[in-house]
Structure 1
Amino acid sequence: MQIWPAIDLRGGKCVRLRQGDYAQETVFNDEPAAVARMFADAGARCLHVVDLDGAREGAPVNLPAVEEILDVFNSYDEPCHVELGGGVRDEQAIAELLDFGLDRLVVGTSAIKHTDWFEGIVERFPGKLVLGVDARDGLVATDGWLETSQTNAVELAQRFIGKPLAAIVYTDIATDGMMQGPNVAAMAEMQAAMGSLPVVASGGVTTLDDVQRLKDAGLAAAIIGRALYEGTIDLSKAIAIGNS
C-alpha cells in the first residue's frame, strides 16, 4: 500500500482544515517546500498536494509553491510522484499542469458535474487523472466541499470502471482532519466496488494502527495529513507498514 503524505496549500502556506471547513484552519509551516523535503527525507516518494485556494476559485492559485515542491521531489535519484488537486476543472488546466511537471491530477467537481466530459478527458490523458470523490454521509460533495449533492459516492465511482484512470481518491469528510481514525468500512466498500482500480483512502488516518487496518482492508494507498504534522504518525514507519 502506497503512503501519500499531504500538503494542503492556502495563501502559499502549508495548512490543514477540519472537515474541509476553511474557517477551521491551522497553519503548520510557512514554507511548503521545506515540508516536502522533510517528507522525502523520511522516505516518501509519493506526495499529495491540494490547492485549497484553487478549489474555491476554480483554477490553480498556489503554483509558485507547487513549483518549489516539485523542485524538491525532483532532486532525488529515485522516481517520485507528485499529484495535485484543487481547481483542476478544464482541459487547458489539465494540459498546462501536466506540462508543469506534475505526475497526475485529481479532478473532483468537474468530474461530478460534467461526467460525460470527464469520461472523454480521461481517454485523452490515460493514467494521468485521478477521480476525486469526496463524500459526506456517503453523498458526493463538490466545490471545495461547500456543496453536497444527492449522488451516491460508490455509484458515481462505478461509472468509471474500465476507464484509464490512475486511481480514485476517496475522502470521508466527516473524518478529515479530525484525528479520530478513518472510515475503514467505507473505504473498503469503495475498493471492493472498484475491483482492480486503485482506491486511495483519505481522511482521519491518525495512528500506525489505522495504516495497518487500511492495508488489511485492501486499499491501494492512503493519504496522511494532520497526523504527520501533529506527530501521531511517524512517516517512515507508515511507509514500512505499507511496504511490508
Structure 2
Amino acid sequence: MSATTRIALATLMSALVLLAPPAAAASSTAWNGLSPGDQQVLRPVETQWNDLAPQTRSRLLRLAQRYRSLPPEQQVRVRQQLGNWARLTPEQREQARAEPAVTADIASLELSPAPWSRRLLCMVYETLIVAALLLSGSLVALVWLPADAASTGSGWARLSLQAWLLLLLTAYFAGCWSRYGQTLAMKTWRLLITDAAGQRPSPGRALLRLALAATTLPLSLLWPALDRDRLFLHDRLAGTRVWRIT
C-alpha cells in the first residue's frame, strides 16, 4: 500500500476521533436512515456504508454532523480523505491503523508555536542522541575498516569515517524530519516540524534545513529575538516551522 493511501486513511481516522465529540452511537443507522445532509457528505462511502463496522459508522456520522461547522479548506480535505478512504481494502485500512507514527495527519493535531526555551532544551537533549549515534557509527566503522588502517589512523581511513558519520547524521535528521516531522528528541519534547503549508517537510527541504542549521547555528539560536514569529534563522530560511503538540 502506498504512503499516500496510508496517510489518507490515518488522516480520516484521526479527524473522526479528534473532531467528533462523544455522542450517542448511531451504529445501527442504515444508509437510507441518514439525513440528506449526512448522505451528501458521506456519499463516497455509500456503497460500503451498510458493511462498515458499527464503530466506524458512528464516527463517520459524527464527522458528517460536524462537517458544516468546519472551515471551507478543511471541508475540501475531508471530502478528499473520504474518497481515498473508500478506495482502500479492509487489509489496507488495518495496515494504516497499525502505522500511526507514519500516517498520523498533522492537520488533526492541536499545534501551537514552540517556545524558544522548549526548542533549546530539545536541542540539548538531541546532543545526547547524536553522541550515541556517533559512538555507534564509529564502532560499526571499525568493524568495516581493515585492521591495519584502523590501528594506524591513515588519512583515507579518517576521511571514510568522517564521511560515514556525516551520512549517518544526515539520514537521521533529514529522514526523521521528512518522514515523521520529528526526531526522537522532538518526539520526547512533543515538537513537530512543518513547512509553510503545514505539512511534513519534503526530503529536499529537510536537507536544506539541516545544512542551514549546521552553518548558522550560533546566530540561529539568537535569531528568535529579532524574528517576528520567533523562528530560528535556519527555519526562516528553509521555510519551516517548529510547533508544540498541545
Q: When you count strand as a share of all residues, which structure comes out higher?
A: 1
Bigger Rg, which one: 2
Which of the two has greater helix per residue?
2
Report if TM-score (shorter chain) is over 0.5.
Answer: no
Q: TM-score, normalized by length of structure 1?
A: 0.24
